[in-house]
Amino acid sequence: MAMNALNGEGQQGQVVVGVDVGGTTITAMVVDTSLQVCGQATQTTDKSTPQGTFKSIVATILQALEIGQTPLSQVKAAGIGIPGKVDPTTGTVHLAVNLNWNHIPAAEWFQQALGVPCYIENDLHLAALGYYHFFTDSSIQNMAYVSIGTGLAAGLILDGRLYRGAHGMAGEFGHIVMDPHGPTCNCGNRGCLEMYTAGPAYSRAGQEAVAQGKLLLPPEQANVTAVDVFNAAQSGNLAAQEIIHTAGAFLGRGLQILIMAYDVDKIILGGGVTRAGDLFRHAILDEWQRQASLSPLAAEMLKPEKLECAPLEHNAGAWGGVALAHNAFPHAVSPQRIANQRR
């Protein structure tokens, strides 16, 4: 805890706040000019109404400030990641399905509530930005932060900059069609990559394995979750291990698309499905190895060291909020220069 930067009397604008808003929880982090965390708080996301969600985000920010014993008057700016389609120039959230937000002028709401400049960005874009600035070394200029949870998408850093695309939709590779006759996706299309690789794919395949008597559930439990499949695989259940291997191989092919399209140095995996552990990582690498054995091009591009799992405690999204608000500190230490200290 580096409180020293905050102790000077009359010093204004000594911290920034980074916030990661998820469908389940909100994390807010207060960071000083030397990029030390002085306060952090996590609260449950109130999804009762759009106003209720907004209030729970503000409450989390205020709690983090209180923990850091930092008055609001010392906050220079806040960077907030929202899971949805965001216009970062106006700070408007056009569509955030999980929060039930549609055409919400979020930057304006937060600025009115907090009285400081607030910047809004898509949560996954922010996670990519945060990971890039604080958890990679300066040799990395091109990377993809891939989140695998209920869905699959990537945040892209290309030539050292966040790449949003023409409509802020860059990285939505979970909806690349792998099989036009495959299962119907939430987006309406059929056979999207995420139908084979994201959390629901594990529970669907797990349910089939239960029906075939290859996987057992406690009698009181009706539905198989992805976590059930991960646990069964770790206890040695062959059907569960096969599910992880199949889904991981699909993801290996999906990540190959990203690598071939953007020539990234690193693929960082984040999100709940990474809890599937080593088996999952090996399934991806086995698929890359299979391709590498056939093709010198694949061997050159699909190097195992390009794949990295983000430790859960890294909180890349909130750090991305810090990076977004960071231009409030023109003379602060360059984030890249302290990157290795945070690895």
Q: Residue 174 Cβ, how far from Zn ion at the closest point, in Å? A: 7
Q: Residue 38 Cβ, how far from Zn ion at the closest point, in Å? A: 41
Quick check: 245 binds Zn ion (CB under 5 A)? no
The total of other beta-carbon atoms located within 10 Å of residue 34's CB is 12
Q: Which of 36, 43, 189, 246 binds Zn ion (CB under 5 A)?
A: 189
**Which of 192/229 has CB closer to Zn ion?**
192
Q: Residue 187 Cβ, how far from Zn ion at the closest point, in Å? A: 3
**Which of 185/302 has CB closer to Zn ion?**
185
**Which of 95/187 has CB closer to Zn ion?**
187
Q: Is the dihedral of CA 156, 158, 160, 166 positive or negative?
A: negative
Residue with tokens 């809004």: 120
Span interacting with Zn ion, options 75-83, 185-193, 262-270, 280-288, rule CB under 5 A: 185-193
Quick check: 63 binds Zn ion (CB under 5 A)? no
Torsion of CA 26, 61, 41, 13, to 10 degrees: 130
Span interacting with Zn ion, options 29-37, 74-82, 189-197, 272-280, rule CB under 5 A: 189-197
Q: Residue 250 Cβ, how far from Zn ion at the closest point, in Å? A: 14
Q: Residue 16 Cβ, how far from Zn ion at the closest point, in Å? A: 36
Q: Tell me how far the alpha carbon of residue 256 is from its chain's centroid.
A: 19
Contacts of 213 (CB under 8 A, 6+ apart): none
**Which of 215/255 has CB closer to Zn ion?**
255
**Which of 190/214 has CB closer to Zn ion?**
190
Quick check: 152 binds Zn ion (CB under 5 A)? no
**Which of 3/187 has CB closer to Zn ion?**
187
Quick check: 201 binds Zn ion (CB under 5 A)? no
Nearest to 148 by CA among 126, 129, 174, 123: 174
Q: Give the x/- contact pattern for Zn ion in 156-175, rule: CB under 5 A.
A: -------------------x
What's the Cα-to-Cα distance from 321 to each of 19, 41, 309, 312, 318, rounded to whole Å? 6, 14, 20, 17, 5
Quick check: 192 binds Zn ion (CB under 5 A)? yes
Q: Give the burial string for 232-241 (b: 16+ CB within 10 Å, else e).
A: bbeeebebbb
Tokens of 291: 């391709």
Q: With CB under 5 A, what is the number of residues at the site for Zn ion?
A: 5
**Which of 104/185 has CB closer to Zn ion?**
185
Quick check: 185 binds Zn ion (CB under 5 A)? yes
**Which of 158/176 has CB closer to Zn ion?**
176
Quick check: 42 binds Zn ion (CB under 5 A)? no
Q: Residue 168 Cβ, how far from Zn ion at the closest point, in Å? A: 18
Strands 85-87 and 75-82: unpaired
Strand arrangement of the beta sheet that strand 92-96 belongs to: 85-87, 92-96, 101-104
Q: Residue 185 Cβ, how far from Zn ion at the closest point, in Å? A: 3
Quick check: 247 binds Zn ion (CB under 5 A)? no
Q: Residue 182 Cβ, how far from Zn ion at the closest point, in Å? A: 10
Q: Residue 316 Cβ, how far from Zn ion at the closest point, in Å? A: 24
Residue with tokens 């216009």: 87
First to last CA, the chain: 17
Cβ-contact 164, 191 below 8 angstroms? no
Quick check: 216 binds Zn ion (CB under 5 A)? no
Q: Is the dihedral of CA 44, 49, 54, 59 positive or negative?
A: negative
What is the DSSP code (8-state) at residue 327?
G
Q: What region, left, alpha or beta, does residue 247 occupy, with left being phi > 0 and alpha being psi -120 to 50 degrees? A: alpha
The site for Zn ion (CB under 5 A) is made up of 175, 185, 187, 189, 192
